[in-house]
Amino acid sequence: MCGIVGAIAGRDVVPMLTEGLKRLEYRGYDSAGIAVLNGAIRRVRRVGRVAEMESAVRAEDLKGIVGIAHTRWATHGGVTEPNAHPHMSGDQVAVVHNGIIENHEEQRARLKALGYEFESQTDTEVVAHLIHHYFRETRDLFAATRRAVADLHGAYALGVVALDEPHVMTGARMGCPLVIGLGDGENYLASDVSAVIAQTRRVMYLEDGDVAALERGRVRVVDRAGCPVERREHLSELSADAVDLGPYRHYMQKEIHEQPRAIADTIEGVVDGGVDIDGLFGAGATALFRDAEAVLILASGTSFYAGLVARHWIEAIAAVPCGVELGHEYRYRETIPNPRQLVVTISQSGETLDTMEALKRAKALGHDRTLSICNVRESAIPRASRLAFYTRAGAEIGVASTKAFTTQLVALFTLTMALAKARGKLSAGGESDLIEQLRFVPGSVQHALNLEPQVQAWAERFAVRDHALFLGRGVHYPIALEGALKLKEISYIHAEAYPAGELKHGPLALVDAAMPVVVIAPNDALLEKVKSNMQEVRARGGEIYVFADLDSHFAPSEGVHVIRTPRHAGWLSPIVHAIPVQLLAYHTALRRGTDVDKPRNLAKAVTVE
């Protein structure tokens, strides 16, 4: 949500800032802007896409060796050029900002009393004026930034430049991700590694409360107490090619088709080495899992649906009570803490604000048995957790999560096996059987991908509809939820999901010939129940679209359309059935002409409430 990139170098930084913004487009935004130092602070801002800003930059022949750039997703104030970043204080200071300043009204009143005038409706302009105020006193941008952030309450990642100190760029972080890229005689600032990966793979992650000063040849960092600190340098595993489209039309399409490899990479350790609990999850995991009285999963969005699937696995296989809560609800709810409970957070980015705050809340209540399942190494949530399991989905650019979801599922199944083994619920033979099931998942997913032409034919029918229902039972109900979410996210078709048994308790009133009903119907113990629910739909004139297994013995008939995925995958069936609902959403959106990778009003990394 929003994106920051900055650079200080001995060459023109405008091309690398523009390229960095393009690589951050996936995060979601509605305006873009850039500011560089070149005898003055020169700024270009445009509502719309980065390409529009880029054209204006070329027209104005913008150049500079120090600069900051931003893609904005509107929170305070409408989508207008005056509200776009960077924001300036006079002609002296320019600021880009991700996050929300909670006390901006108080600071705005204070700054107005000091004589500052405001040109925007944003909370960010407060930051620019505060830094300018302290810079007039200190004549030191690093000191001014430190003093300004001490006055701020809320979440922020900042990039700052000042006309009178052109050899320095500052950054600050609280609650929103910020990374420093380390180059040869030049350094970079970004909200995401992908923005600087074309320039360097050497990165340094800032911690909450850090303020940094970047010069061409050095980086200084102080913590929230103002003490100098050294943040460890990492070599990013992300490659520039990982964020290129290649032969695909959209990132979502690319990422759907990358799932066999992403899943295979994520389960490689357990398939090759067995359930080595400490090796997979971290030192001390075996004892922690053995003594856990319950599991609490905290997540949001698609990750929450992954947790709902895992609840079935954990309770049935590991025999451990499991609860699943939305992070943004849990953090504000009075709960009964259980220090012997394992708290599991799930986040693709590792920076999801509501999940991070839920983790902080759990720890404040005495939960020190924490585990993060995440796709981004060294991100905030894993760093704040005692244990971590990293999925290996690679960069996911499309806003609608696909390969992150399926790799989270295999990670959660691995956790289930580890819990069962640590608690003596999994024999050696049982472990081998479950690992063998995991081994076949990438191939089953590839077989499901081969159904794409059939799903495309369904998408033509869905593209002219305004509403849809998704039904599932048991462990497949969360896949119905995920299918409905994907369809509404990128095609803008209103879609709802229900446990199939809930139909007669209200949703059946919605069913008519204009309401397509998607049914997840694998060959499991609830299949006959699902068939009964389908008959209820047909009796009301509803048209049914069934995702079944090869061995489900469904036959297409009038008003009943059937696509068969590979043979029933047992416990891992939800992973296989996630593929066709992703394809259905993608091809329906394609037919409707929506922006598949950047759906309206949404952002990839949700770093504000």
Active site residue 227: no
- Could you count the other beta carbons within 10 Å of the beta carbon of residue 140? 16
* DSSP bridge partners of 545: 518, 561
CA distance 520 to 388: 32
Q: Are 244 and 19 in contact (CB under 8 A)?
A: no
What is the per-residue pLDDT for 608? 53
**φ/ψ bin of 99: left (φ > 0), alpha (ψ from -120 to 50), beta (otherwise):** left
Structure tokens that stand for 80 in this block: 């207008």
What is the per-residue pLDDT for 521? 85
Going across the sheet that includes 560-565, the strands are 494-499, 467-472, 516-521, 543-549, 560-565
What is the per-residue pLDDT for 605? 59
**φ/ψ bin of 393: left (φ > 0), alpha (ψ from -120 to 50), beta (otherwise):** alpha
Backbone angles phi, psi at 467, to 5 degrees: -145, 155
What is the per-residue pLDDT for 509? 72
* Residue in 421, 486, 598, 604 annotated catalytic: 604
pTM: 0.79
For residue 354, give the 3-state DSSP assignment. Answer: helix
CA distance 333 to 338: 15
Structure tokens that stand for 194 in this block: 């992908």
Structure tokens that stand for 2 in this block: 């929003």
Active site residue 598: no
The dihedral of CA 415, 420, 424, 430: what is its sign? negative
- The H-or-E segment that residue 430 falls in is helix 428-439
Buried b (16+ CB within 10 A) or exposed e, 211-230: bbbbebeebebbebeeeeee
Give the 3-state secondary structure percentages of the chain, helix then strand then coil, rounded to 5: 40, 25, 35
In terms of Cα–Cα distance, which of 230, 231, 245 is closest to 22? 245
CA distance 110 to 103: 11
* Residue in 2, 176, 322, 374 annotated catalytic: 2
Nearest-Å Rg of the Cα atoms of the chain is 25
What is the per-residue pLDDT for 536? 73
For residue 471, give the 3-state DSSP assignment. Answer: strand
* DSSP bridge partners of 548: 521, 564
* DSSP bridge partners of 562: 546
Counting as low any pLDDT under 50, the low residues of the chain are none
What is the per-residue pLDDT for 398? 87
